Structure 1
Amino acid sequence: MNILQLNFEAGWRGGERQTMLSMLQFREEGHTVHLLCRAGSQIGERARAAGFVVHERKGSGGVIGFLALSGKRYDILHVQTGHMLTWAVLTKLLHRTLVVYSRRVAFRLKGALTRFKYRKTDLVVAISEACANSVQALGIQHVPIIADAVLPVSPNATRSQMLAGQLGIGQRKVVATTSALAADKDPLMLVDAIAALKKRRNDFVFVHFGAGALEPEVRARVAALQLQDTFLFAGYQQNVEALFGLFDVFVMSSREEGLGSSVLDAFSARVPVASTSAGGLKELLADDRGLMSAPGDAGGLARNIGQLLDAPDWLGAMTSKAAEYFERTHRLDTMADAYLVMFEQLLNERRRPRTAAIATAPAATPGIAVESHNQA
Structure 2
Amino acid sequence: MKILEVNTEKTWRGGERQTLYNILGFLKKGHQVHLLARRGGPLAMKSRKETGIPVFEVSSLLGAWWFLVRHGSKYDIVHVQTARTQSVAILAKSFYQRPVVYTRRSNFFPKTGLFSKWKYEKTDCLSANSYHIGEVLHSFGIQKEVIVLREVVEEEELDRERAENLKKKLGIENKKILATAGALVPHKDPFNMIHAISELYQKRQDFVFLHFGDGEMRDAVEKEIQRCGLEKVFLLMGFHEKVQDFYSIFDVFVMSSDGEGTPNTVLDAFLYKVPVVATRAGGTPEILEGRGILCPIKDPKALALGIEQILDSPELSQEYVEKAYAYVKEHHSLEKVTQDYLDTFQKVLSKE
Q: Is the 8 A contact 1:150 1:264 kept in 2?
A: yes
Does residue 273 of structure 2 align to residue 270 of structure 1? yes
Q: 2:212 aligns with which of 209, 214, 221?
A: 209
1:370 maps to what in 2? none
Deviations 1:248-283 (A, max 9, x none): 000111100011111111111111000000101011
* 1:144 corresponds to: 147
Alignment of 1:85-164 (within 5 A): 85-109=86-110, 110-137=112-139, 138-164=141-167
Q: Which residue number in structure 1 is paired with residue 60 of structure 2?
A: 59
- Counterpart Cα distance in 2 of 1:34 and 1:243: 32
- SS of the aligned residue for 1:10 comes to coil
TM-score by length of 2: 0.97
The range that moved more, 214-223 or 309-318, is 309-318
Task: Identify the match of residue 335 of structure 2 among 329, 333, 336.
Answer: 333
Structure 1 position 224, deviation (Å): 1.1
Matched residue, 1:260: 263
1:169-318 to 2 correspondence within 5 Å? 169-286=172-289, 288-318=290-320
The DSSP-based 3-state class of the residue aligned with 1:102 is strand
TM-score, length basis structure 1: 0.91
The runs of 4+ residues in structure 1 deviating greater than 6 Å are none
Number of residue pairs the alignment of both structures matches: 349
CA distance in 1, matches of 2:16, 2:169: 29
* Matched letter for residue 195 of structure 1: S
Q: How far apart are residue 75 of structure 1 and its match?
A: 0.7
Residue 27 (structure 1) aligns with: 27
Q: Which moved more, 1:253-262 or 1:162-171?
A: 162-171
C-alpha separation in 2, matches of 1:122 and 1:265 = 31
Quote the offset at 1:239 in angstroms. 1.1
Q: Secondary structure at the match of 1:211?
A: coil
> Shift of the alpha carbon at 1:163?
1.2
Aligned to 2:351: 349
The answer on whether the counterparts of 2:120 and 2:142 sit within 8 Å (CA) in structure 1 is no
Question: 2: CA distance between counterparts of 1:154 and 1:281?
Answer: 26
Q: Which runs of 5+ in 1 are unaligned?
A: 351-376
* Cα shift at 1:53: 1.2
Residue identity opposite 1:320 in structure 2: E
* Aligned equivalents of 1:173, 1:311: Cα separation in 2: 14
Q: CA–CA distance in 2 between the matches of 1:125 and 1:40?
A: 28
CA distance in structure 2 between the partners assigned to 1:114 and 1:165 by the alignment:
51
Q: For residue 147 of structure 2, give the secondary structure of its aligned residue in structure 1.
A: coil
| Matched AA of 1:193 | A
- The Cα offsets for residues 19-60 of structure 1, whole Å up to 9 and x where unpaired, read as 111111111111111111111211111111121211111112
Deviations 1:305-357 (A, max 9, x none): 1111113422211110111111111111111110001111211221xxxxxxx
Structure 1 residue 153: Cα displacement: 4.5
Q: Bigger CA drift: 238-247 or 173-182?
A: 238-247
* CA distances 1:162-198 after superposition (whole Å, capped 9, x unpaired): 1112222120010000100011101111111111111
- 2:36 alignment partner in structure 1: 36
Letter in 2 for 1:121: T
- Contact (CA 8 Å) 1:103, 1:124: kept in 2 or not? yes
Check conservation: 1:153, 1:265, Cα contact below 8 A.
no
Q: Supply the AA of the counterpart residue of 1:130.
A: H
Superposed displacement of residue 242, structure 1: 1.9
Contact 2:251–2:275 under 8 Å retained in 1: yes
Percentage of identical aligned residues: 38
Give the alignment's Cα RMSD to 1 decimal: 1.1
Residue aligning to 1:166: 169
Q: Could you say what secondary structure the match of 2:310 adopts?
A: helix
Q: Distance in 2 between matches of 1:139 and 1:5?
A: 24
| Mapped pair 1:323 → 2:325 | yes
Q: Show structure 2 runs of 5+ residues with no match.
A: none
**Aligned counterparts of 2:315 and 2:143: Cα–Cα separation in 1:** 46
- Contact 2:39-2:58 at 8 Å conserved across structures: yes
Q: Distance in 1 between matches of 2:137 and 2:77?
A: 21
Deviation at 1:117, TM superposition (A): 0.5
